[in-house]
Amino acid sequence: MRRNRWYFVMMGTCLTLVILAWTVVRLFSVTAAIIMSAAALFIPPIAAIFVNAGDESSRRLLGEVGRPVPEQSAA
């Protein structure tokens, strides 16, 4: 749940940067608006990587298709 919150915060920041850049900031400085848009360009991939990165224990508990991996007994 915490990852989803961070994802929405990052994507909200991205939208805010783009909207502010082209509605308000461009009236004062087109260069600043372009820089803000360029900064917003890098937020979605970073957000996706951040959300999809998991700790190793969660990856071991779930198989590749999302089902629990059966316990392996020591022989």
Cα separation, 75 vs 18, in Å, equals: 59
Average pLDDT over residues 10-27: 95
Give me the DSSP letters along 56-70: HHHHHHB-TTSSBPP
pLDDT tens-digit map of 33-70: 999 999 999 999 998 888 888 655 555 555 555 565 56
Residue 6: inside a domain, yes or no?
yes
Q: What are phi and psi of 23, to 5 degrees?
A: -110, -35
* Residue-level pLDDT at 2: 76
pLDDT of 71 reads: 65
Residue 11 lies in a domain: yes
pLDDT(20) > 80: yes
pLDDT at res. 50: 84
Residue 43 lies in a domain: yes
- Whether 44 is covered by a domain: the verdict is yes
Domain boundaries, position 25 = 2-51
Count of domains forming the chain: 1
Q: Is residue 61 part of a domain?
A: no
